[in-house]
């Protein structure tokens, strides 16, 4: 089997191979991927540092052309790359292709941003002086990504980093190196100069840590768990470096008495269980007012019975497997914790077998839960959700906001008054009305509040906040 190597200073370099395993069928090896060492990470950082002066002053047309070419190739290969994604991560083929298309759209968007980066010219408060405000690249950007969006998250970090003239050291999650390797290969062939983008696949504690410890990394953009995010923050403060964190969620989805029941059920099932519940924007707290509660729970049960959980690549599958054994253990531990805490396991929650050995779990719905239970406070990151019964809208909003997290918050209602109030008062970076808590556009800001995020927003033109630094120049006329 071919070894997919790391890219350092424009050269593919070796290392011990690690098997990338398909969670739908653990007998299927997706590929062998080299594992970088701390020295490889240091070499990648040195290469990015050396490449920065030229790349940061390169013409915007060159950057535009490379990103556009990358977008075009991703789009042309969307079925193949989407299949690779589903094979290595376990989300369904439709979800894998959808995420791949999104990665292509992100590269296309930032190809355009290369040509749109503007500054400001304003008069000084002093006579005969002009003031110019411009944006410059930050320097070497370290990119550290999680396993649950193997192509979209690398795309939404790499594309703006390069568009605004930074050089990059990129460490993807150990579980899903395939899509990351593929987009780095595409960018490399699209004509990126040596050292502008370096790929170091490997362990967080080794390769990621070497990035955190390097004084030559001027900015780190991180998406992953709260625990690792805190390490990134501490190390970055130590080095006085810019950092951005996107972390966990415990996103509420409120269902009011006046909701359209079918809209509410579809949005709740999507929020809680699609992509196997492994989305930072997934909803695992479904907060339902008492007038609709019993009807809603019954309709959820009916809808969940029809969900097809199977091999991610099989036509007709709606929910793929959990990503690996350790995540599956975490999910089943939380199901046991929910029962011990006194919530009622109304549907699902059992391990299931399919034609191939994989990590299959029947999506689980708890009822009779309350917001102080661990299943309502801690991120499970699997297809496990809890229904919390409340009296009215006011209590629903208070419960929705009673969480350490603040990424996405949803409501199902036909009341303009409640929808408007919720949009203004939900303590989250993103609010969804009659829509799932997950599923966002690629051209507008993405991010959260409270324990979910730190630093400027990602995506859309707001990405410039993180990937550039502002300069104010004064000139005597």
Which are the catalytic amino acids?
246, 280
Examine residue 407 and tell whether it contacts ligand NAD (CB under 6 A): yes
Q: Is 36 in the site for ligand NAD (CB under 6 A)?
A: no
Question: What angle do helix axes 60-76 and 177-189 make, rounded to 10 degrees?
Answer: 130
User: Could you say whether residue 228 binds ligand NAD (CB under 6 A)?
Assistant: yes
Residue ranges in 433-472 that form contacts with ligand NAD under rule CB under 6 A: 452
Site string for ligand NAD, 377-396 (x = CB under 6 A): --x-x---------------
Q: Does 212 engage in binding with ligand NAD (CB under 6 A)? A: yes
- The distance from CA 402 to its chain's CA centroid, rounded to whole angstroms, is 23
Instruction: Report d(CA 320, CA 362) in Å as an integer.
Output: 10
Residues 6+ apart with CB under 8 A from 217: 45, 140, 141, 142, 169, 211, 239, 241
User: Is residue 293 near ligand NAD by the rule CB under 6 A?
Assistant: no
Q: How far is the CB of 404 from ligand NAD (least distance, A)?
A: 12
Q: How many CB atoms lie within 10 A of CB 97?
A: 18
Q: Which stretch binds ligand NAD (CB under 6 A): 93-101, 116-124, 245-253, 303-311?
A: 245-253
CA dihedral 106, 110, 112, 116 (to 10 degrees): 140
Considering CB under 6 A, how many residues would be counted as binding ligand NAD? 28
Q: Is 420 in the site for ligand NAD (CB under 6 A)?
A: no
Nearer to ligand NAD, 18 or 212 (CB): 212
Residue 244 in contact with residue 221, Cβ under 8 Å?
A: yes
Determine phi and psi for 430, rounding to 5 degrees.
-135, 135
214 belongs to the binding site for ligand NAD (CB under 6 A): no
Shortest distance, CB of residue 21 to ligand NAD, whole angstroms?
Answer: 16
CB of 278 to ligand NAD, least distance (A): 8
- Alpha carbons within 13 angstroms on the beta-carbon side of residue 41 total 28
| Residue 346 beta carbon to ligand NAD: minimum distance, rounded to whole angstroms | 25
Q: Are strands 11-13 and 6-8 parallel, antiparallel or unpaired?
A: antiparallel
Shortest distance, CB of residue 349 to ligand NAD, whole angstroms? 21
What x/- string results for residues 156 through 175 when contact with ligand NAD is judged by CB under 6 A? Answer: ---------------x-xx-
Whole-number Å distance between alpha carbons of 153 and 176:
12
Which of 393/446 has CB closer to ligand NAD?
446
Residues 6+ apart with CB under 8 A from 52: 137, 139, 140, 166, 167
User: Rounded to an integer, what distance in angstroms lies between the CA atom of residue 182 and that of residue 74?
Assistant: 9
Residue of 82, 154, 224, 348 interacting with ligand NAD (CB under 6 A): 224
Strand pairing category for 242-246 and 453-454:
antiparallel
Q: Is 319:276 a contact under the CB 8 Å cutoff?
A: yes
User: Which of 96, 104, 137, 146: binder of ligand NAD (CB under 6 A)?
Assistant: 146
* Contacts with ligand NAD, residue ranges (CB under 6 A): 144-149, 171, 173-174, 204-205, 208-209, 212, 223-225, 228, 231, 246-249, 280, 379, 381, 407, 452
């Amino acid at each position: 089997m071919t070894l997919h190597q790391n890219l350092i200073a424009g050269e593919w370099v070796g290392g011990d191979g690690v098997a990338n395993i398909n969670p739908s069928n653990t007998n299927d090896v997706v590929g062998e991927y080299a594992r970088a060492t701390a020295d490889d990470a240091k070499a990648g950082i040195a290469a990015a540092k050396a490449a920065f002066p030229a790349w940061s002053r390169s013409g915007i047309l060159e950057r535009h052309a490379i990103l556009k070419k990358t977008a075009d190739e991703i789009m042309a290969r969307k079925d193949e790359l989407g299949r690779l994604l589903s094979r290595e991560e376990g989300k369904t083929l439709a979800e894998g292709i959808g995420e791949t298309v999104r990665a292509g759209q992100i590269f296309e968007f930032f190809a355009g941003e290369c040509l749109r980066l503007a500054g400001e010219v304003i008069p000084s408060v002093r006579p005969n002086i002009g003031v110019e405000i411009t944006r410059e690249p930050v320097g070497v950007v370290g990119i550290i990504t999680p396993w649950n969006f193997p192509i979209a998250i690398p795309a939404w970090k790499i594309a703006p980093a390069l568009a605004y003239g930074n050089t990059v050291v990129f460490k993807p999650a150990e579980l899903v190196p395939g899509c990351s390797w593929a987009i780095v290969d595409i960018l490399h062939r699209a004509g990126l100069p040596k050292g502008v983008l370096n790929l170091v696949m490997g362990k967080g504690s080794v390769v990621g840590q070497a990035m955190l410890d390097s004084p030559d990394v001027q900015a780190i953009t991180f998406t992953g768990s709260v625990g690792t995010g805190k390490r990134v923050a501490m190390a970055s403060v130590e080095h006085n470096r810019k950092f951005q964190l996107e972390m966990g969620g415990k996103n509420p989805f409120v269902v009011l008495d006046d909701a359209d029941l079918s809209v509410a059920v579809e949005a709740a099932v999507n929020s809680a269980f699609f992509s196997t519940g492994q989305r930072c924007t997934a909803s695992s707290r479904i907060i339902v007012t008492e007038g609709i509660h019993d009807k809603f729970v019954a309709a959820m049960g009916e809808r969940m019975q029809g969900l097809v959980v199977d091999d991610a690549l099989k036509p007709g599958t709606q929910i793929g497997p959990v990503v690996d054994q350790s995540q599956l253990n975490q999910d089943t531990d939380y199901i046991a914790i929910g029962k011990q805490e006194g919530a009622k396991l109304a549907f699902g929650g059992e391990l299931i077998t399919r034609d191939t050995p994989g990590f299959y779990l029947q999506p689980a719905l708890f009822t009779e839960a309350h917001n102080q239970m661990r299943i309502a406070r801690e991120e499970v990151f699997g297809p496990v959700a809890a229904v919390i019964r409340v009296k009215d809208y006011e209590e629903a909003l208070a419960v929705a906001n009673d969480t350490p997290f603040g990424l996405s918050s949803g409501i199902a209602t036909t009341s303009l008054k409640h929808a408007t109030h919720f949009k203004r008062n939900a303590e989250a970076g993103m609010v969804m009305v009659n829509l799932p808590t997950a599923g966002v556009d690629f051209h507008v800001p993405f991010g959260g509040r409270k324990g979910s995020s730190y630093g400027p927003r990602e995506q859309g033109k707001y990405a410039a906040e993180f990937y550039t630094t502002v300069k104010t120049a004064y000139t005597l006329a």
